[in-house]
A and B are shown apart, each in its own frame.
Chain A
Amino acid sequence: MKKTDGVAVRSNVRLNSIHVTVILIVVLFVIGQGVLNGFASIRNISNIIAFACVIALVAVSQLFVMVVGSDGNDLSVGAIMSMSALLFADICRNEVARIPFALACVLLLGVVVELINFSGIAFLKISPMIMTMVMGTVVNGFNYFYTRGIVSGSIPKPIMLLGRQIVGPFKTIVFVVAVILVLAYCFLRRLKTGKKMYLVGSNENAARLCGIRTEWVKLAAFLMSGVAAVLAGIMLLGLSGAAILKMGDGYVMMSIAAAVIGGVKNGEGRVFGCFLGAVIIQTLSNLLIAANLPDSLQILLNGIVLMLILSSFARKPRLQS
């Protein structure tokens, strides 16, 4: 391969990072097994993959916002997840017939939140992280207001099924999320708007000069992010069996870490990479639990891991050429 512009790039670099990720997962399981016997058991693996599916969906949420550029991250996804879970459970009231209506409601709300996010970012030039962070607080406040602190315990059966195993060790959720991930993949790789997202993120100016309406593309990305976050919330509801206030908060950090590990950045990012990144994050999380570390140290280590991941993948260029 020619050396071009000082960067010797092999086109196989994608494959290599996937190999590394897979190896990392295996290593983590080996360590886990050493820490706690039964870590690498089928049951535990199934559990990890199930929860990793939730993280993967939220990571896809981040993917939409990060791919489209300007170093954006969506910090409101956690609150949207919580809102989705809480309101869905509440609106359903254990009636299967109300599921479509409940789904429509939470999707609408999620889209509205992201619309507000986008407006602040695009029109008022508020940086994405701050705008979404603030909206996250507002949505959390809304959740508390709506539920009056009383958490609905009744979740319709089909949703509860998500947490059940149906095919061998794999739970239903894995298949449902797999379908959603495939749809996300198709959107990004086959539909025009999805393809444009990568270009806008890769070089927004060049995209504009090609005649792409960059602002509309970015809006679409934020809306899709909201949809993914809403779905992730419902998945989490089914898996954990209960809707709890602020249940989604911890997922914000995990989604960013998973996305970054999965190779998501401006103009680049693969849905499958998000899934692998999610598996790593969930495995790591379980590892810390298996090591019997107190909650506080788990959070602390998560933060350190995020800092290390950022140092490896998310550095800005130097000032000098």
Chain B
Amino acid sequence: MSQLLKAKWFPSVVLVIFFLIWNGFFVKGFYSAASFRYFLNVLVPLACIAIGVTVTVICGGIDLSTGALVCVINCSFVVLMERGLGLGAAIAVSMLAALVVGVVNGFFVAVVRINPLLVTFAMQTICTGLALWIRPNASGSGNPEFIRWYGSGTVLGIPTSVLFFTIVPLVIWYLIKRTPMGYWLYAVGKDERKSFETGINTVAVQFFAYIFSACMTGWAAIAFSGNIVGGDPKAGLSFTMNAIAASVVGGAALSGGEGDPIGGVLGALFVQLAIYAVLGAKVSTYVEELSNGLIVLLGIVGMMAYSVLKNRKRSRL
């Protein structure tokens, strides 16, 4: 039991359970089949991004470009299909685009050595512009079959959205964690200089982290395209902050070297549940944006306060 309490993602489990219960009572029809499935469909892209962002945080950095990248990939995915590309080809090209963004982020962080916060912030601006250029106004209808498959398909009883866009990424992460790269990501995040002196290739490791994050974001954008109709150059922007809150609540330390993407998924679950709780309270739309911001703020502040207090107790012992 004490092992469980010590797990970094324990607070997020508590929060998730709390809101699962709360939403059951206060959000009308939350657990009805269709409603709950829709909730999951909305959650899945955020969870997928949180997996990627958590890895950059573990590696000692952060990725602020995720929201804008979702917009870019969503718009280009839709545009490619409108221009006649098949679903498979469109996915492949979109993932390739995401990969390129990851490489650029990695380059400026690891080689040019600019603060990751500033690099990904600049990249966010670039992607925002790119998305608007590809699709200036939200429009299009996307691929109806894909939307149907994503929205209501199941495989062996598991929703396709959850299976392919959260469970599969988690599995991929765990496969990576079981390679030496898994160790190296945590090492570089904990202490870049010590890792360097131990003979670890810190440049390659950092490249990997940002490429992984961008690919996860690209994959999440595909999921997102299955959830909204058409391409929207602005709809994904809130992912950036929500994914970071998800990572932090999930136990990833912003200083690096600690955390796990499963925590990020739990954190994403918390954020989405909290957003629904606010919606369920039927507050006016004018409060929505504010309350979403407060959810992120309180999530991050609460988690950081929790770890500061925990550390103080430990050092006093």
Which of A's residues lie within 8 Å of B, judged by CB? 71, 73, 75, 120, 123-127, 129-131, 133-135, 137-142, 144-145, 148-149, 253, 256, 294-304, 306-307, 310-311, 314-320
Q: Is the beta-carbon distance between A318 and B113 smaller than 8 angstroms?
A: yes
CA distance A311 to B118 in the complex (A): 10
* Known contacts A144-B289, A145-B286; A124 and B128 CB within 8 A of each other: no
Question: What residues of B have a CB within 8 angstroms of the CB of A296 in the complex?
Answer: 129-134, 136, 233
The answer to whether B108 touches A144 (Cβ under 8 A) is no
Residues of A within 8 A of B136 (CB): 294-296
Pick out which of these stretches binds chain A: B30-38, B82-90, B170-178, B293-301. B293-301
Find out whether the CB atom of B117 lies under 8 angstroms from the CB atom of A310: no
Q: In the complex where A73-B118, A307-B126, A315-B112 touch, is A141 in contact with B300 (Cβ < 8 A)? A: no
Q: Closest CB of chain B to A65's CB: distance in Å?
A: 13
Distance, CA A137 to CA B298, complexed state (A): 12
* Given known A-B contacts A126-B254, A145-B287, A145-B290, A301 and B129 have beta carbons under 8 A apart: yes
Q: How far is the CA of A77 from the CA of B290 in the complex (A)?
A: 17
Q: Which of B123, B202, B301 contacts A303 (CB 8 A)?
A: B123
Residues in A with CB closer than 8 Å to B254 are 125-127, 130
CB-CB < 8 A to B115: which residues of A? 71, 314, 316
B28 within 8 A of A: no
CB-CB under 8 A from A145, the residues of chain B are: 286-287, 289-290
Provide the bound-state CA to CA distance between A135 and B245, in Å.
13
Whether the pair B129, A141 counts as a contact (CB closer than 8 A) is no
Cβ-defined contact, B129 with A299, below 8 A: yes
Which residues of the other chain, A, contact B255 by a CB distance below 8 angstroms?
125
Cβ 8 A contact of A141, one of B118, B193, B294: B294
Show 28 residue pairs from A and B whose CB-CB distance is below 8 angstroms, ordered by the A residue: A120-B304, A125-B308, A126-B301, A130-B244, A134-B293, A134-B300, A135-B297, A137-B296, A137-B297, A139-B293, A141-B288, A141-B289, A141-B291, A141-B293, A142-B290, A144-B286, A297-B129, A298-B129, A300-B128, A303-B125, A303-B128, A307-B126, A310-B108, A310-B118, A311-B108, A314-B114, A314-B118, A316-B113
Task: Give the complex CA separation of A318 and B112 in angstroms.
Answer: 10
Which residues on B sit within 8 Å (CB–CB) of A148?
A: 286
> A120, A138, A306, A319: which contacts B294 (Cβ < 8 A)?
A138
Interface core residue of B62, B202, B290 (most chain A CB under 10 Å): B290
Q: How far is the CA of A298 from the CA of B133 in the complex (A)?
A: 10
Which residues of chain B are within 8 angstroms of A139 by Cβ–Cβ distance?
293
Q: B192 on the interface (CB 8 Å rule)? A: yes
Which residues of A have CB within 8 Å of B292?
A: 137, 141
B130-A300 in contact (CB<8A): yes
CB <8 Å contact, A307 and B202: no
Complex: A320 Cα to B233 Cα, angstroms: 42
A residues near B289, Cβ cutoff 8 Å: 137, 140-141, 144-145
A129 to chain B, nearest CB (A): 4
Q: Are B122 and A310 in contact (CB under 8 A)?
A: yes
What residues of chain A lie closer than 8 Å to B126, measured between beta carbons?
300, 303-304, 307
Across the interface, do A306 and B122 meet the contact criterion of CB distance under 8 Å?
yes
Q: Is there contact, CB below 8 Å, between A140 and B119?
A: no
- B297–A129 CB distance below 8 A: no
Residues of B contacting A125 in the complex (Cβ-Cβ under 8 angstroms): 254-255, 304, 308
Q: How far is the CB of A249 from chain B (nearest CB, A)?
A: 10
Residue B305 CB within 8 A of the other chain: yes
Whether A307 lies near B108 (C-beta < 8 A) is yes
Q: Which of B134, B287, B288, B293 has the most A CB atoms < 10 Å from its CB?
A: B293
A284 to B316, CA, bound (A): 55
A307 contacts B122, CB within 8 Å? yes
- Check B133 against A294 for contact (C-beta < 8 Å): yes
- 11 additional contacts (CB under 8 A) given A296-B131, A303-B126: A73-B118, A125-B304, A127-B117, A137-B296, A140-B293, A299-B128, A302-B125, A307-B108, A307-B122, A315-B112, A319-B193
Closest B residue, CB atoms, query A260: B118
Known: A300-B126, A301-B129, A307-B123. A120 touches B301 (CB 8 A): yes
CB atoms of B196 and A319 under 8 A apart: yes
In the complex, what's the smallest C-beta–C-beta distance from A253 to chain B, in angstroms?
Answer: 5
Residue of B nearest to A250 (CB): B125
Kindly list chain A residues whose C-beta atoms are within 8 Å of the C-beta of B305. Answer: 124
**Smallest Cβ distance from A151 to chain B, in angstroms?**
13
Residues of B within 8 A of A131 (CB): 300
Residues of A with C-beta under 8 A to B288: 141
Is B241's beta carbon under 8 Å from chain A? yes
Q: B64 within 8 Å of A by Cβ?
A: yes
**Bound Cα distance A306, B128 (Å):** 14
Query: Any chain A CB within 8 A of the CB of B39?
Result: no
Taking the nearest CB of chain B, how far is it from the CB of A69, in angstroms? 13
A296 to B128, CA, bound (A): 8
A residues in contact with B146, CB < 8 Å: none
* Assembled-state Cα–Cα distance A316/B196 (Å): 16
B121 located at the interface, meaning its Cβ lies under 8 Å from any Cβ of chain A in the complex: yes
8 cross-chain pairs, A with B, having the tightest CB-CB distances, nearest first: A300-B129, A141-B290, A303-B125, A299-B129, A296-B132, A303-B126, A296-B133, A138-B293
**Once the chains bind, are A126 and B300 in contact (CB under 8 Å)?**
yes
Cα–Cα, bound, A23→B233 (Å)? 37
Report Cα–Cα, A315/B241, bound state, in Å.
Answer: 25
* Residue contact B297 to A124, C-beta cutoff 8 Å: no
B125 and A126 form a contact (CB under 8 A)? no
Closest B residue to A139 by beta carbon equals B293
